[in-house]
Amino acid sequence: MQLRRLEDLDLRGKKVFLRLDLNVPMKNGVIKDDTRIREALPTIKYILEHTSKLAMCSHLGRPKKGAHTEDDSLEAVGVHLAELLDREIVFCADYATEPAIQVLSRLDPGQIMLLENLRYSEGEEKNDKDFARILTEGFDVYVNDAFGTVHRAHASVDAAAEIFPAESRAAGLLIQREIAALQSLLASCEPPFTVIMGGSKVSDKIGIIMNLLNHCHNLVIGGAMAYTFLKFKGVDVGSSRVEDDKMNLVETIVRAAEKRRVMIHLPIDHVCAAEFSENSPAVEVAGPNIPAGLMGLDIGPKTIAAYEGVIRRSRTTLWNGPMGVFEWPAFAKGSMAVAHAMAASTGKTVIGGGDSVAAVNMAEVANKMTHISTGGGAALEFLEGRVLPGIKVLLK
């Protein structure tokens, strides 16, 4: 799989349409975390070294039809981006009626533009070709660097790219970095390769687990999904969260792992509580069986030691999904221990998006990881082995 790269385009004097992922958390019009904006900077700066004619766009949240709020407008993002770039950014709210290219043609030298939230227009999520045409008409080059959205066949990601000749489309620097890191896990990682899966549901992760069983040597399970596995094995799980109707999925995973000689690691002790509540006192259960009236909310100390050992012996480790309810301090130890063990590893360490990224940040070890994926859903779908629509249109 080879991407068309931004660096391969001749951008001199060209009008560039750039899809970014500026989908940052907002509260009362204030940006709560600007990581995604900062991740977009290298591609923006690269383009501006070659041309000043740039229109940027993104979605933000899931705005309700006809009820837009300051938390789903990209205006504050534009202001912050202008500060970070030290450039004047013209904010364009009416691009659905006035093609973006007309606004671009009126800009002063040095000004660049940012379009309002793409999801304000119905055409975006419908992958509407007419909407894509209004967005991109008159532009010379299409660049996508919105890794977090490449698994969605939306107009700015799919239909818009298709409007341009293949040689005038390219992947930005972030998409290139993400794809290279994830692809190397599937194609050329150093063994032993350990996959650590956690989070709430087996059913959400079945696709990725089944595909990764073709590549990994250890499958380490934590989080609520561990209790569905333990129940399948006949272990008592008390009132832990279990997907009783998904036992067939667990059986499929267990059989496939046996066939491929992948070792599945499950919790051997637990940190429990009587209720699913932050203030419910943490109770350690020293063995695998959880008594009635208690639910597992984190892996216990023996399990932590065992999982640390597996990580230490691995040359490649991928983590997706917390080991417990890490948002509550009494049940965060398992996830913090996995984050620290990965940080101490001399092998390659990849964080596959979502809550594991938050856990790694909480443990303050983000800078110790080989790669942290910025796109949760996109990373998971890529690792499932799917062809992502936003990547397909950027292939050579």
Residues carrying an active site annotation: 36, 201, 354, 377
Residue 372 φ then ψ, to 5°: -120, 120
302, 268 contact by CB (below 8 A): yes
Tokens for 346, please give them: 């001399």
Length of the chain: 396
Distance of alpha carbon 24 from its chain centroid, rounded? 13
Q: Binding ligand AMP by CB under 6 A: which of 135, 150, 297, 388?
A: 297
- What does the longest C-alpha to C-alpha distance in the chain come to? 70
Q: Which stretch binds ligand AMP (CB under 6 A): 25-33, 125-133, 321-329, 343-351?
A: 321-329
Going 25 to 29 to 35 to 37, the CA torsion angle's sign is positive
What number of other Cβ atoms are within 10 A of residue 290's Cβ? Answer: 23
Going 134 to 389 to 90 to 168, the CA torsion angle's sign is negative
384, 208 contact by CB (below 8 A): yes
Q: Is residue 270 close enough to count as binding ligand AMP by CB under 6 A?
A: no
Q: Is residue 325 close enough to count as binding ligand AMP by CB under 6 A?
A: yes
Q: Which stretch binds ligand AMP (CB under 6 A): 110-118, 136-144, 200-208, 284-292?
A: 200-208
Tokens for 258, please give them: 């046996």
Shortest distance (Å) from residue 231 CB to ligand AMP? 13
State in Å, rounded, how far the first CA of the chain is from the last one. 8
Q: Is residue 78 close enough to count as binding ligand AMP by CB under 6 A?
A: no
Q: Is residue 321 close enough to count as binding ligand AMP by CB under 6 A?
A: yes
Shortest distance (Å) from residue 321 CB to ligand AMP? 4
Nearer to ligand AMP by Cβ, of 15 and 270: the residue is: 270
Nearer to ligand AMP by Cβ, of 114 and 325: the residue is: 325
User: E-assigned strands of the chain?
Assistant: 16-19, 26-27, 30-31, 54-57, 88-92, 111-115, 141-144, 169-171, 193-197, 218-221, 263-265, 270-273, 283-285, 295-299, 316-320, 348-351, 371-372
Here's the x/- map for ligand AMP, 153-192, by CB under 6 A: it reads as ----------------------------------------
Q: Binding ligand AMP by CB under 6 A: which of 34, 128, 308, 327?
A: 327
State which residue has the least CB distance to ligand AMP: 199
Which residue is associated with the tokens 């890191």?
181
385, 379 contact by CB (below 8 A): no
151, 178 contact by CB (below 8 A): no
Binding to ligand AMP, residues 98-117 (CB under 6 A): none
Binding to ligand AMP, residues 215-254 (CB under 6 A): 223-224, 241
Shortest distance (Å) from residue 270 CB to ligand AMP? 9
Q: Which stretch binds ligand AMP (CB under 6 A): 101-109, 153-161, 322-330, 337-345?
A: 322-330
Shortest distance (Å) from residue 359 CB to ligand AMP? 9
Shortest distance (Å) from residue 279 CB to ligand AMP? 15
Nearer to ligand AMP by Cβ, of 123 and 296: the residue is: 296
Interface size with ligand AMP, residues (CB under 6 A): 16
Nearer to ligand AMP by Cβ, of 89 and 197: the residue is: 197
Q: Binding ligand AMP by CB under 6 A: which of 99, 123, 172, 199?
A: 199
Question: Which pairing describes strands 270-273 and 295-299: parallel, antiparallel, or unpaired?
Answer: antiparallel
Burial of 52 (0-12, 13-18, 19+ CB in 10 A): middle
In angstroms, what CA-CA distances link 158 with 152, 301, 388?
8, 47, 10
Q: Binding ligand AMP by CB under 6 A: which of 267, 288, 296, 389?
A: 296
Q: Is residue 339 close enough to count as binding ligand AMP by CB under 6 A?
A: no
Q: Is residue 353 close enough to count as binding ligand AMP by CB under 6 A?
A: no
Instruction: List residues near ligand AMP by CB under 6 A.
Output: 199-201, 204, 223-224, 241, 296-297, 321-322, 324-325, 327, 354-355
